[in-house]
Structures are given as C-alpha cells and as structure tokens.
Amino acid sequence: ISSVNEARADRFTHRTAIVIDVLRATSTMVTALGAGAASIYPVETVLEARTLQRQGYTLAGERFCRKIPGFELGNSPEDFTPEIVEGRRLVLTTTNGTRAIHKAMRADFVLSAALLNASACARSAMELRRDVVLLCAGCHDDFALEDGLCAGMIIDRMQALSSTSIDVDDFGTAMQGFYQSSKERITEILKGSSSGKRLIKMGFSRDIDSCAQIDTSSIVPKLQGDMIIIG
C-alpha cells in the first residue's frame, strides 16, 4: 500500500486507487449512490457540467464550498435524498475530490472512500488483488487531516482482513498510527481540521457530523469508464 497526497500519474499504473475526500466529495458520492442515484459523472469544470445538463444529467457540486449557480444540488451529503436523486444520472464537480478522481484514472480500478464506507472499501480493494494507492484529495494540493485519518483507517482494516502482513509505506504507517490513536474522537478531529473549520464558518457544520459517521454504508463507488457507479 502506498498513500500519497501528491499524485504523479505513473503511481497508479496496474494498481487500485482509493480516492479519499472525507469533507466532502467522496462522502457525498457514497451518500448519493446509497440514495439510489444511477451514476455520478465526475467532471473537473463547471463548463463541462453545464454542457452535460442538456443530455439529461442533474448537476451537483460546489465552488468555495457553496452550490454553483444554476446547479440543482451542492456538495452537502444531505442534499442527496432518495426523493431527489433516485434513478438520476448526476454530474459532480468539486474543487478537490472530482479532480483527484481524474488524477487517479490511470489505475486499473478507482474506488471512492470516506469514513462512511471505509471498511467496505478496504474489503473491495483486497478482493481486487492489486497493489493499492490511497490518494488523499486534500485541499488545493495540501494535505487534509481528515483524509489522512480515513487512509489510516482503511490501512488498519486491510491489515485486519489480511492473513499475511502487508507492506505499507511510511506515510501510510504514520496515518494508521494517527487513526489508532484518534478513533475515539473522530468528529472532534474533523471539526478541528482546516476543512472542518472552513465548513463550520460557512454554515455547514451538520455536514461534518454526517461525514464523521463510521462504516454506515457498504456502498463502494467505483469508476466504470467515465462514470462512478456502485462497485
């Protein structure tokens, strides 16, 4: 397992990439597919998203944490209820999370992980039988604590599931230790992180509570061609 915060495309070749953006893009993906969305098309720009609207997609995403003008949905997991998203094809564009998915596209498999589905994601990654790269989406290429925490939890779960010991790089070992020493105060850590503080300031503190839940979902979003679907 290697865990990176910076993503050279060649890191992903022949591997499974697990993209993590706990606050909030990958938590939103898990929630949206759990609420019955048919698929999520991750795009990098607002313009690409708008072009797809004409093809029947529902637009979702944020810039500066807020819903994009003209979009139906923002990036708050609670926006993605079955009443709104069931059976719909979504387009999602976010500042960091959807960009990270694009960076990882050279991998054999691309999964999306959050605290909500960390154990399910660890299990799926083991079943795919490739070396694993955990890509912490972070914020504008800076490390985000909550993504490292989730990476550490996934590594911890993969080690528990494996009958033999698995190789983990130094950053991954550090994140596993961080997770082990912090698992009783996950919400507190999320609220104290830079992304958490920013979301609280902008009035999204409820999103932090929902993204801090552990293993409430068995859904593993997986990239299939250009679309993210249930893996």
Nearer to ligand MLT, 68 or 168 (CB): 68
What DSSP designation does 75 have? S
Do the beta carbons of residue 77 and residue 35 sit within 8 Å?
no
The span from the CA of 208 to the CA of 221, in Å, is 20
Q: Using CB atoms within 10 A of its CB, is residue 89 exposed (0-12), middle (13-18) or buried (19+)?
A: middle
Instruction: Name which of residues 48 to 77 contact ligand MLT (CB under 6 A).
Output: 62, 65, 75
Under a CB-based contact definition with an 8 Å cutoff, are residues 219 and 34 in contact? yes
Q: How far is the CB of 163 from ligand MLT (least distance, A)?
A: 35
Instruction: Pick the closer one to ligand MLT by CB: 185 or 197.
Output: 197
Please work out the total of residues on this chain that contact ligand MLT, with binding judged by CB under 6 A: 11
Q: Which residues pair with 92 in a beta bridge?
A: 42, 60
Residues paired with residue 18 on neighbouring β-strands, in sequence order: 111, 134
Q: How far is the CB of 183 from ligand MLT (least distance, A)?
A: 22
CB of 75 to ligand MLT, least distance (A): 4
Measured CA to CA, the distance from residue 215 to residue 230 in angstroms comes to 16
Binding string, residues 85-104; x marks residues near ligand MLT by CB under 6 A: ---------xxxx-------
**Which residue number, 156 or 207, has a Cβ lying nearer to ligand MLT?**
207
- Residue 21 or 156: the one with the smaller Cβ distance to ligand MLT is 21
Which residues contribute to the site for ligand MLT (CB under 6 A)? 21, 23-25, 62, 65, 75, 94-97
